[in-house]
Amino acid sequence: MAEPNPTRTPESKPVAPGDRVGARFDASAVEDLNLLLSTGLSKSEALHDAVRHYAAIHRAPIADDMKVLQEAGLSRADAVRKAVGHYAEIHRNAWDMGAYPQGISPKILGTKVEVYQQPKAANQGV
C-alpha cells in the first residue's frame, strides 16, 4: 500500500456534492480562468469543467474527482487552481496551434502521463 502523501494539509478534507470550494487566484490563474470564461462558460461551469478534466483519468463523479486530487496532496483551493490552469492550457494550446478557433472549447481526446519512477534511496547509489 502506498505511503500517505506528507504534503497533505489539514485543509484537504473530502468534499461532498453541493459543497462550495473557495480559492484565491494568483495573476496567472486569473488569466487562465478568464480564458475559460471567454468561451461563454459561467465561473461555476468553468471551474466544474476544469476539475472534471484534471481528474478525468480516474473516471469518477465530480465529488470523487476532488477527493482524487486531494489524495495527491492538494488542498481544495490548490486543486481548483491547478485544474483551471491545466484546462485553460489545453484551450490556449488548441487555439495557438490553430486546431480550434479562439473562443471555441476544444474536444479533448486523451491525456498523456509520464510513468512514475520510484526515487532511489540514498544508500542505493547512482
- Is residue 124 scored above 70 in pLDDT? no
Kindly report, residue by residue over 63-120, the tens digit of the pLDDT: 777 888 888 888 888 888 888 888 899 899 999 999 999 988 888 888 788 898 888 8
Q: Does any domain span residue 95?
A: yes
Q: Does any domain span residue 7?
A: no
Q: Which domain holds residue 38?
A: 27-124
42 pLDDT tier (thresholds 50, 70, 90)? confident
Number of folded domains that form the chain: 1
| Predicted TM-score (pTM) of this structure | 0.47
95 touches 102 (CB < 8 A):
yes
Q: Does any domain span residue 10?
A: no
Q: Does any domain span residue 18?
A: no
55 pLDDT tier (thresholds 50, 70, 90)? low
Q: Does any domain span residue 31?
A: yes
Task: Give the CA dihedral 34, 43, 104, 61, nearest 10 degrees.
Answer: 130
Q: Which of 118, 57, 115 is nearest to 86 (CA)?
A: 57
Q: Does any domain span residue 94?
A: yes
pLDDT at 7: 44
Q: Does any domain span residue 17?
A: no
Q: Does any domain span residue 49?
A: yes
